[in-house]
Chain A
Amino acid sequence: MSPVLEAKNVSVDYHQGKRSFRALNGVSLAIEKGETVALVGESGCGKTTLARAILGLQSFEGEIMLDGFRVDGPRPGQAKSVGVVWQDPFASLDPRWRIGDLIQEPATVTREQIDLADLMKKCGLSEQFAGRYPHQMSGGQRQRVAIARALSLEPPLVICDEPTSALDLSVQAQILNLLKDMQGDVGCSYLYISHDLGTVRYISDRIAVMYLGRIVEEGPTEDVFSRPMHPYTELLIKSALTAENIGSLPESEESESRIPPMEGCAFRPRCPYAQTDCGQSFPTLFGDAQRAACFHPLVH
């Protein structure tokens, strides 16, 4: 069976006057039916750019196959192939629309019929919310609306772009469980974009780690968490905020340059294990189930 999503060698350049910035650099990623793949990495590494490319909102080089269609701009009726849960439900729901209309919009656009009351019930929304406006609801309820909207047509792929990062901690778990429940119900795959490793570990089957526009490590979630191969993955996992490590985290990472070196491994300037050969060419993904783009992968 062919994957729900297959991205091959996708690159995106942002142009600003004469200068250009490579936001995605030869990214390949496949998502099978019913699978949850997490895309992690620091802000600005290209996670959302990849999501926009999949949705046809961003022009790119390479090839993306979504639900059997070749992506080339937003396709009429693509709501049946892919749904999106955006980061901030307050921004992503039109403030002038009623909740019921917002949930039904994918169906309206594609001329489909859905059972609104049933869908709202499954998403933990009382039917009386249908006549309300987004600003009359709490953040968690709004994200439930966004999930109902994304899943209303039962698309084979749902992109979740940091769906919990705008929510209170107490609500995050509810939203994650709702996503899991709905996946069981609908059988869809998730592309779960996040920098929050805790939620990623909870929800994903596989994980892809991005650094400066490239996927540097990919593999089953538990394997990657317990035995990271790429030094950047190790750094990410170590930097996850816990009560124990909060005083000892590395500082001033943010001031590091976003412009990767011209040659060699992009992570080299920050890598604690960098050696001279790291600067000569760029490493490609290497390995079987768990793969890393590193000349000197960590051995456990």
Chain B
Amino acid sequence: MKGLFWVGVGYLILLLFFAVFGPTIRHDYLNPVASPLQPPSGANWFGTDEQGRDVFARVAYGARMSLIVGFSVQLIALVFGTLVGIIGVFGKRWARDPLMRLTDGMFAFPDILLAILIIGVWSTGLVPVIVALSITAWPGVARLVKTQVATLKDREFVVSARALGAPTTYVVFKHVLPHLTSILLAVAMVDLAGTILAESALSFLGIGVTPPTPSWGSMINDARAYINTQPLLLVWPCAILSLTIFALNFVGDGLRAATDPRNR
């Protein structure tokens, strides 16, 4: 378990460098640099696509898109979900009950369909994708935070702080939230995998990040047409997407195991 965690961490660090420097280090990711559908070579490490663009740079830019979308969505979902979860326990009844009904109601929608609906009535592009995926991601965080906070609320050290007459915000920020950071981090890692997968699915369906900006999903979709002539074109984005999902799950599981009190 521990070995896999570090393998995952190592992979994610490499991916981060890949996403930052890969898109421009050798070739531009947007314009043709060679003849189309070339196999890998010294000049184009991953070959070229149907328009003669460098696949290495495009996969790297796809990584950048996936990470931007993934981290933005997780950040928004964490902040909003944590807020809702805390209100769900400490809030006044008029705020608490409607928010909790809303949270429960959100679980009734299949995530990807809800995201498609939001993008459908709004628009495609980076911002709509982030917003749509955030809306599907926060209820899970809210439910987790709510159950965690509900048990923390009755822990003696929290009661002890409340007995001082300290304001609820003080108690929440000083004695409740610090105990949630590790479990939230672990869950966010696993959820990040889901978000990246969902972003790829949206791009695959052609309603994600607007072309010609590359994304793993749209690259997979484009490569389908050349599966017999240049199958490697399909392999690169699929492989990196799969490896990224694996790595995030390894890291998330490792963090969860480390925060599990039974392993202390």
Residues of A within 8 A of B (CB): 55-57, 74-79, 82, 84, 86, 88, 91-96, 105-106, 109-110
CB neighbours of A57 from chain B (8 A): 159, 162-163
Residues of B within 8 A of A (CB): 155-157, 159-167, 170, 174-175, 178-179
CB distance from A32 to the nearest CB of B (A): 22
Whole-angstrom CA separation of A70 from B264 in the bound complex = 45
CB neighbours of A79 from chain B (8 A): 163-166
11 A-B pairs in the complex with CB atoms less than 8 angstroms apart: A57-B162, A74-B162, A75-B165, A84-B160, A84-B163, A86-B156, A91-B156, A92-B160, A94-B161, A109-B165, A110-B165
The answer on a CB contact under 8 Å between A74 and B170 is: no
What's the count of A-B pairs with C-beta under 8 Å? 53
Instruction: Other than A76-B166, A78-B163, A93-B160, give 10 A-B pairs with Cβ distance below 8 A.
Output: A56-B165, A57-B162, A74-B165, A76-B165, A78-B165, A86-B156, A92-B156, A92-B159, A94-B157, A109-B165
Whole-angstrom CA separation of A199 from B36 in the bound complex = 89
The answer on a CB contact under 8 Å between A106 and B178 is: no
CB neighbours of A109 from chain B (8 A): 164-166, 170
Whole-angstrom CA separation of A88 from B165 in the bound complex = 20
Closest CB pairs A-B (n = 5): A78-B165, A91-B156, A79-B164, A92-B156, A94-B157
CB neighbours of A74 from chain B (8 A): 162-166
CB neighbours of A56 from chain B (8 A): 165
CB neighbours of A76 from chain B (8 A): 165-167
Answer whether A91 and B157 are a contact pair too, CB < 8 Å, given A96-B178, A96-B179, A109-B170: yes
Whole-angstrom CA separation of A92 from B161 in the bound complex = 9
CB neighbours of B166 from chain A (8 A): 74, 76, 79, 109
CB distance from B90 to the nearest CB of A (A): 13
Q: Name which residue of chain B comes closest to A55, CB basis.
A: B163
Answer whether A88 and B156 are a contact pair too, CB < 8 Å, given A94-B175, A109-B166, A109-B170: yes
Q: Name which residue of chain A comes closest to B175, CB basis.
A: A94
